[in-house]
A and B are shown apart, each in its own frame.
Chain A
Amino acid sequence: MPDKPRVILDSKQLELTINRLCYQLIENHDDFANSAIVGLQPRGVYVSKRIHEELAKMTGNKNIRHGALDATFFRDDFRTRETPRIPDVTELNFNVENLKVILVDDVLFTGRSVRASMDALLAFGRPQLVELLVLIDRRYTRHLPIMPNYTGKMVNTSLSERVSVEWKETEGKDCVKLHTVKK
C-alpha cells in the first residue's frame, strides 16, 4: 500500500530552484552562443523547456539551442524486458559538433538513462563538452559513476521510495513529491 506522498518542492520552491539553476548555467555558459540545452525524453523535456523559457527571459536571447533526446535504442536493459520500449521523439535541429551540451533530466536515479543518453548524443557528433543538470538527485541509488554538474535538490532516498515531478502542463500543478511504498 502506498503512503500519502510527501511534497518535497512546492510550486514556489520549484520556481526558485529553476531560477537558481538558470543563474548557474548563465555563470558557466555566458550568452549560450556555443551551448545547447537538451532534455532527456520523456520527463526531462519538461524541465529543459522550463529552463529554456526562463533563460530566454533572463538573458533576452530567444535563440538558445534547445532539443529533445531519446535514448531508448541505447539502453542496456533491452534484452531483459518482456516487451520492447517504444521510443519518444528525438529533436536535435542543430549540429552538436563542438557545442557545449547540457543534458537535462528530472530525476537522477541509477544513472543508466544518462549513460544511454550520452551514447545517443554521440551518434549525432562530437560535442566539445557534455554537462548534466538534474532537478532531483536521489543519493545512494547510483549504479554507475555519474555525477550531475547542476542539481536542483538532493534527496536521500531508499530503493522502495519513488520521486515524481509534476508539471502544470500535464498534472495541473508544479511540484515534486516523494512516495513511500510500504512493504
Chain B
Amino acid sequence: MEKKLSVDHLLGIKYLTKGDIELILSTADYFKKVLQQPIRKVPSLQDTTIANVFFENSTRTRLSFELAEKRLSADVVNFSASSSSVSKGETLIDTVNNILAMKVDMVVMRHPNPGASMFLAKHVKSKIINAGDGAHEHPTQALLDAYSITRKFDVPHLKGKKVVIVGDILHSRVAISNIYCLHRLGAEVMVCGPTTLIPKHISALNVKVEHNLRKALEWCDVANMLRIQLERQDIKYFPSLREYTMMYGVNKQLLDSLGKEITIMHPGPINRGVEITSDVADSGQSIILQQVENGVAIRMAVLYLLSGKSTIGG
C-alpha cells in the first residue's frame, strides 16, 4: 500500500489534513514496534542526511529527533546557533543554504521567530521540519500528544474526548499546535489559566476558556499541563510563582477530590511543585514518560513519510 502526506514540509499542524494526521499516527504504531525489537533500527533512510538546526535551546526535542533519525539509519549533523556564524551576523537563509550546499536532504529547525520555518521552506530547496518556531507552532509535540491520548484510550480518533490545556497559553507553541491537532481529530478543547496568560482572541480558535482550574478539571478527560515559561516573560503576568501554584497548580489532593480519574500530560520540562506536584507527575494517572517514548516513534513516522523521492528542487 502506498500513501502520501499532502504536504512537502511539516511547518505546522494548521497545514495538515485530518488524513495526514491519521497517517502519521498510524505509521508511528509500526515504528513503536521497531523500537521494541531487539535491534531497534531500520535502514529506511540510510542514504539521507538530516541537519538539526537549533537556534534555540532544546534538550528533549533535539534528542528525540536525533534518536529518531539514527533509528532510521539517517546521517545526522547538528548545528546550534551559539557555536555558529549566526553570532557573526550571518542571515538564516545563508546559514541554511551553506548547510544544504554540503548535500543535506532534510532540515529540522527550531527558531525563536514565529514563521521562521515557513520562510525557510519558501527560500531553500530542502524539506523542512519545524521543531518549534517562537510562540507559533510545535507540530511534532502536538502529534505525539494526540498519539499518546489515542493510544491511552485505545481509540482511532478523539471524538467526544475533552482536553484542557492549562497554564501559559500566551507564550506556548505547544498549545496552538495542540488545539489544531485535537480539533482535527474531533476532540473538544478548553484552555485554562490566568487572564494575563490567555491570548485575547483565543476563542476564535473554537476553544472554551476557563479561569477556574477545578471547573476545568471536572470538565475534562485529559489535562495537558504547560510549563510556565519564565524565560519568555518580559513583564510580570502574575504576582508570584507561589500564587500561580495555588491557583493553577495540580496536586494529588485536587485530583483525588474530582470524583473521576483524568489523564495528566506535560510536554516537559516539568517545573516540579509549580504546575504539577511530584506525586502527580509520578502517579499512574500521568502519561508524561509515555509521551517522551511516543515522541521518537512520531518523529520517525514524520521523517519517513516526508522523505522518499524528493519533489523539491535537487
Binding site for B on A (CB under 8 A): 42, 70, 72-74, 78-90, 119, 122-125
Q: Please tell me if the beta carbons of B4 and A83 are within 8 angstroms of each other in the complex.
A: yes
Asked if B160 CB lies within 8 Å of chain A CBs, one says no
Q: Which residues of B contact A70 (CB under 8 A)?
A: 30
As a 0/1 sequence over residues 33 to 46 of chain B, the CB contacts with chain A under 8 angstroms (1 = contact) are 11001110111110
Given A79-B48, A123-B37, check contact A84 B42 (CB 8 Å).
no
How far in angstroms is the closest Cβ of chain A from B83? Answer: 32
Which chain B residue shows the least CB distance to A123? B39
Q: Is B199 an interface residue (CB 8 A)?
A: no
Selected contact of A123 from candidates B2, B30, B38, CB within 8 Å = B38
The 8 A CB mask of B9-35 against A (1 = contact, 0 = none) is 000000000000001001100100110
B187 at the A interface (CB under 8 A)? no
Extra A-B contacts (17), CB below 8 Å, given A73-B304, A84-B308, A123-B39: A72-B30, A73-B42, A74-B44, A78-B308, A79-B47, A79-B309, A81-B2, A81-B308, A82-B308, A83-B2, A86-B1, A86-B23, A87-B27, A87-B30, A90-B33, A122-B39, A125-B38
Q: Is B245 an interface residue (CB 8 A)?
A: no
The answer for the CA separation of A88 and B33 in the assembled complex, in Å, is 11
Total count of chain B residues near the partner, CB < 8 A = 27
Judged by a CB distance under 8 angstroms, whether B262 is at the interface is no
Closest 6 CB pairs of A and B: A73-B42, A83-B4, A123-B39, A83-B2, A87-B30, A73-B44
27 contacting pairs across A/B (C-beta < 8 A): A70-B30, A72-B30, A73-B30, A73-B34, A73-B42, A73-B44, A73-B72, A73-B304, A78-B44, A78-B307, A79-B47, A79-B308, A81-B308, A82-B4, A82-B311, A83-B4, A84-B2, A84-B304, A85-B1, A86-B3, A86-B27, A87-B30, A88-B1, A90-B33, A123-B38, A124-B39, A125-B38
Question: Is B209's beta carbon under 8 Å from chain A?
Answer: no
Listed residue (B23, B72, B309, B311) with the most chain A CB atoms within 10 angstroms of its CB: B309
Contact with A along B284-314 (1 / 0, CB 8 A): 0000000000000000000011011101000
- B304 nearest in chain A by CB position: A84
In angstroms, how far is the closest chain A Cβ from the Cβ of B285?
Answer: 30
Using Cβ atoms and an 8 Å threshold, which residues of chain B touch A84? 2-4, 304-305, 307-308
With contacts A73-B34, A123-B38, A124-B38 known, is A83 near B308, CB below 8 A?
yes
The answer for the CA separation of A125 and B39 in the assembled complex, in Å, is 8
Query: What separation, in Å, do the CA atoms of A4 and B47 have in the docked complex?
Result: 42
With A and B bound together, what is the CA distance between A183 and B33 in angstroms?
A: 43
Q: Please determine whether A81 and B39 come into contact, CB atoms closer than 8 angstroms.
A: no
Complex contacts, B2 vs chain A, CB 8 Å: 81, 83-86
Residues of B within 8 A of A125 (CB): 38
Q: Across the interface, do B42 and A123 meet the contact criterion of CB distance under 8 Å?
A: yes
Task: Report chain B residues within 8 Å CB of A86.
Answer: 1-3, 23, 26-27
Give A77 Cβ to nearest chain B Cβ, in Å.
10
Q: State the Cβ distance, B86 to closest chain A Cβ, in Å.
A: 31
**What residue of chain A has the Cβ atom nearest to residue B33's Cβ?**
A90
Q: Which residue of B lies closest to A82 (CB)?
A: B309
- Cβ contacts under 8 Å, A83 to chain B: 2-4, 308
- Alpha-carbon separation in the docked complex, A121 to B4 (Å): 27
Give chain B nearest CB distance to A83 CB in angstroms. 4
Can you name the residue of chain B whose Cβ is closest to the Cβ of A116?
A: B43
Q: How far is the CB of A40 from chain B (nearest CB, A)?
A: 15
The listed residue with most A CB atoms (<10 A of its CB), out of B44, B72, B307, is B44
Tell me which residues across on chain A come within 8 A of B38, comparing CB atoms. 123-125
Most chain-B CB neighbours within 10 Å: which of A73, A82, A86, A90? A73
Shortest Cβ distance from A119 into B: residue:
B43
In the complex, what residues of B have CB within 8 A of residue A119's CB? 43
Name the residue on A nearest B105 (C-beta). A79
Give the residues in chain B near A78, CB-CB below 8 Å: 44-45, 307-308
Q: How far is the CA of A50 from the CA of B309 in the complex (A)?
A: 37
